[in-house]
Every structure is written in structure tokens, then in C-alpha cells.
Chain A
Amino acid sequence: MRAVVNIHLKQGVLDPQGKAVHHALGSLGFHSPQEVRVGKQILLELREGLSHEEALEEVRQMCERLLANTVIEEYQIEILP
């Protein structure tokens, strides 16, 4: 069982990396992006035998306590078989 955690700065919190990438894309001729936000992805291999709900709840606690800083970041969790 695997969990995929995606972490980004919250909407409304200016993302300096996203802004720099947006600018670089523009100078390469890619003008379609209206906004770029850079985040990080954390992959977790979980032990077998957890239910989907148990896995989701445990990873949610990991995000709240360590993986994300909820003052500035938001996260999405995906549980895969």
C-alpha cells in the first residue's frame, strides 16, 4: 500500500519558487501559464493490512505533525493499493 502526499504553499501565500519558474517559462516562449506553484511530493510505502480509512487517517496525522507546515502549506493525500 502506498500513500502519495502533495504539499503546496496555500493559496494567497506568495510562492517565490513558483514565481521564478513562471518567469523562466515566459522567457522560453511558454505564455499559457497564468500562475505556477512549486510544491513537493512525498511517497510513503505503508505496511499491508491497513484499511483505506486507517491509512488516510495516519497519513493525515503525519502531515499535521511533520510533513506539512500548516501555517503556510496545504496538502492532499492519495492512498493507492
Chain B
Amino acid sequence: MRVVVVQFPGTNCEFDTRYAFERLGAKVEILWHKEREIPQGSDLVVLPGGFSYGDYLRSGAIARFSPIMEGVRRFAQKGGYVLGICNGFQILLESHLLPGAMKRNANLHFISKFHHIKVLHNDNKFLSKTRKGEILYIPIAHAEGNYYVDDEELKRMHERGQILLQYCDAKGEYANPNGSLEAIAGICNEQKNVFGLMPHPERACEPLLGSDDGLRMLQGFLD
């Protein structure tokens, strides 16, 4: 299993992400955004969290035009698996590799805390090691995680099972930290090979640090 973690100027979760995948036994390469191609033989490309280009203009708006993003697009078009975490998710939205857009959190605060999230669908590579309806405990850390998509697209996404993760409380009841439409925390594309989520599974890989639920999420990619 070979994982490529893309590093943009301002990325800050690349080493945590490498740690998490190495812990699962994957070979991990950190790739600078000026590269043009995803290396042959890669199984998964991760766009990690951080503040690419200082979040200038809009989160992810400038990173989207980094040379590597054409390579990521080609990789995804050939069916390769792509995972965007937090700022990586924002970059995938700006690239139109995933539908929708992010707004400022409804309370305008940067939110950094553990949150519960519910698995809505596990019939995909990413969440194949979790159970449908399972409640995971994963940190979030973002100022722009207020997901928006228009009604028509939202309906299509529901029909195709693209809404994968939803914020909730410990009992699985509705809870919405950032104002996201339907408390959406994570989605995928129609082909179910491009995934994006705001929570940070790579920060939930050690029970000592509060949770290792993130490992089971990432593990899905390792089969």
C-alpha cells in the first residue's frame, strides 16, 4: 500500500497523516505541490489539513491551481482514491472534484475540539471498516467548515449515498458545531473514489490522546 501525502505551502498536518498511515503499515511519501504527477504505483493520495496559501482569498482557492492538482485530477479520473482532510477537503471543493462549498462557521469562531460524527454509509472504501450508524469520536479544527450545496445537488447526493458523515452528539442525536447544511461532516463523489471530511482522523490514532477511531476510518484504504 503506497500513500502519497501532498504538501502545499502552509500545510501542517502532513507529518501526522504520515504517522497514521505508517502505523497502519503503509508506505508513505510526502510530495511537494510543485510536482506534476502522482508517482506510478500509488494507491491513495491524501490532501492533508493546514492553511495552504494562508487561506488567502478563500480556503483552498489558490492551492487548487498548484501544479500537482492536475496530477491529482488525472489520478482521480483513472479511479485512484483521493482523500481530503479539512483544508484538503476545502481544496477538493474548490477544484470541483467534490460538489459544494465551504462558508465561515456559523458562529464565526475557529472551532477546535473533539466531536462525535455518525457514519451514514459504509458501502465505500473509506468507511468500509466502520459500521453504518456507528458514532465515532474525532477532533475537528477549522474556521470554514460550514458546508453548503444547493438543494438539487443535495437531493442527488442523498440518492447516490454521497453524504457519508454527519456531526452528532454522543447519543447520535443531531448536533451541529459549525452550521453545516444537515450537519454534514464528510462526503464523497458519485464514483465513490474521492472523499472529503472536515474532522481529522489522523489525530485520533492513539487511545492515550483521546480516541483511536480515526485508525478504523483510514484502515479502509489498506485492503
Chain B residues with CB under 8 A of A14: 103, 106, 179
Q: Is B170 positioned at the interface, with any CB of A under 8 Å from its CB? A: no
Nearest A residue to B178 via CB reads A16
Q: CA–CA, A71 to B107, complex, Å?
A: 21
B-facing residues in A14-57 (Cβ within 8 Å): 14-17, 20
Q: Is A59 positioned at the interface, with any CB of B under 8 Å from its CB? A: no
Q: Which residues of B contact A (CB under 8 A)?
A: 57-58, 61-62, 65, 93-94, 100-101, 103-108, 146, 148-150, 179
B62, B94, B146, B149: which contacts A16 (Cβ < 8 A)? B146
Q: CA–CA, A14 to B103, complex, Å?
A: 9
Q: Which residues of A contact B (CB under 8 A)?
A: 9, 13-17, 20, 66-67, 69, 71-72
A13, A17, A20, A66: which contacts B61 (Cβ < 8 A)? A66
Instruction: Report B94 CB to chain A, min CB distance, Å.
Output: 7
A16, A66, A67, A72: which contacts B101 (Cβ < 8 A)? A72
Nearest B residue to A71 via CB reads B101
The answer to whether B101 and A69 touch across the interface, beta carbons within 8 angstroms, is: yes
Chain B residues with CB under 8 A of A71: 93, 100-101, 148-150
Nearest B residue to A40 via CB reads B57
The answer to whether A72 and B65 touch across the interface, beta carbons within 8 angstroms, is: no
Q: CA–CA, A71 to B154, complex, Å?
A: 13
Chain A residues with CB under 8 A of B104: 16-17
Which 8 pairs from chain A and chain B are nearest by CB?
Answer: A71-B101, A72-B101, A16-B106, A16-B104, A69-B101, A72-B148, A20-B108, A16-B108
- 30 A-B residue pairs with Cβ-Cβ distance under 8 Å, sorted by A, are A13-B103, A14-B103, A14-B106, A14-B179, A15-B103, A16-B103, A16-B104, A16-B105, A16-B106, A16-B107, A16-B108, A16-B146, A16-B179, A17-B108, A66-B57, A66-B61, A66-B62, A66-B65, A67-B57, A69-B58, A69-B61, A69-B94, A69-B101, A71-B93, A71-B100, A71-B148, A71-B149, A71-B150, A72-B101, A72-B103
